Amino acid sequence: MYKRVIILTTIFCLTGFTNATAQRGKKQINPQSKQFKYSTTIEKERPELDQETKRLIAAYRKNKTQANYQALRTKVAANYDAVVARKKAKLEELKREAKHASKVTEMEGIVNEMLKDRENRINQTMSRFTDERLLPGARETKDGYLPILGAAQNVSIAYTPVTNNDYAEFAKATGRKTTAKNDLPVTNISYEDAVAYAKWLTKKDGSAVYRLPTEKEWELAAGHMPKDADMNCGEGKGLTPVTAYKNTLSASGAVDMWGNVWEWTSTDKNGQKAVKGGAWNSKRTDCRTENRTATRNGSKKYETVGFRLVREK
């Protein structure tokens, strides 16, 4: 019984709650974020997994039958549809009461995206809930990397983006321009530079392969962006250290996945590379995990684009 409680507590945390939220049930709000503070479309708290969902997860983990899997998936789908229904209700409210048409347009975009992405989002949730690595401590890094639940069993993601401190050693070893030495995410790094860094680190490590994540892997690691996420976006004040918002955890337990800098992925889209997570000067809605419209030229460098690695071991 004790083990079951521990596992369900872990599942609860992996759905996007900070430990503080799980323990106290209080809102995690960034009072400095004007865009969040005054937005009528941003929810200020996250729903807890209901007891029936927890029971079905436990039942599947105990007995992995197709019937138990389907029962869990049906419940996950119902939970998702309930969220969509709330968004639709909010949209109708905004149509009646919003003072600015932009708020209606913003919510319409979110609702349409959720409807279009329904099957994918349900499948991602199921892949996390049924991953064998969903165990106590899965969201706590011991060596700077965390398992990407739902991805291949040997794939993990870096706790933070690559920093200027991390990149400086590589730059010195390969004759590249030396970057500043600090804990800000490294920027002005092309996709090709990021790939070169990963290959250099692979050779240096000798026992693991490092590479850029695919867009799908990045999304699995991030999970849905919490509506009350405390992060660096929309304020126009520039970069912050990668652990400045460490209380906002992704589904994997990684930090700084939303805001601060866009992150390169290896996914090609019409000759460009998909970037994820938004930056310090992005709109909050553009930072959402499900935003799949942002791309950059892989041979160019950008002041608002950095990267983090995944590891195969």
Residue spans of the domains in the chain: they are 2-129, 145-312
Q: pLDDT tier at 47 (50, 70, 90 boundaries)?
A: low
The pTM score is 0.82
Q: Please state, rounded to an integer, the average pLDDT across all residues of the chain.
A: 85
Neighbours of 17 (CB within 10 A): 19
pLDDT digits 0-9 by tens, 204-220: 999 999 999 999 999 99
Percent of the chain with pLDDT strictly greater than 70: 84
Per-residue pLDDT tens over the stretch 109-137: 889 999 999 999 999 999 989 988 888 87
CATH assignment, 145-312: 3.90.1580.10
Residue type, 167: Y
Q: pLDDT tens digits, residue range 159-181? A: 999 999 999 999 999 998 877 88
CA 246 to CA 227: how far, in whole Å?
Answer: 16
pLDDT digits (tens, 9 = 90+) for 294-304: 999 999 999 99
- Give the range with max mean pLDDT: 176-180, 227-231, 265-269: 265-269
Residue 227 has pLDDT above 70, yes or no: yes
Are the C-beta atoms of residues 291 and 114 closer than 8 Å to each other? no
Tell me: pLDDT of 312 over 80. Answer: yes
Alpha helices in the chain (DSSP H): 2-14, 19-24, 34-37, 51-62, 66-97, 101-116, 118-129, 164-174, 191-205, 215-222
The model's pLDDT over 8-44, given as tens digits with 9 standing for 90+, comes to 444 444 444 333 333 333 333 444 444 444 344 444 4
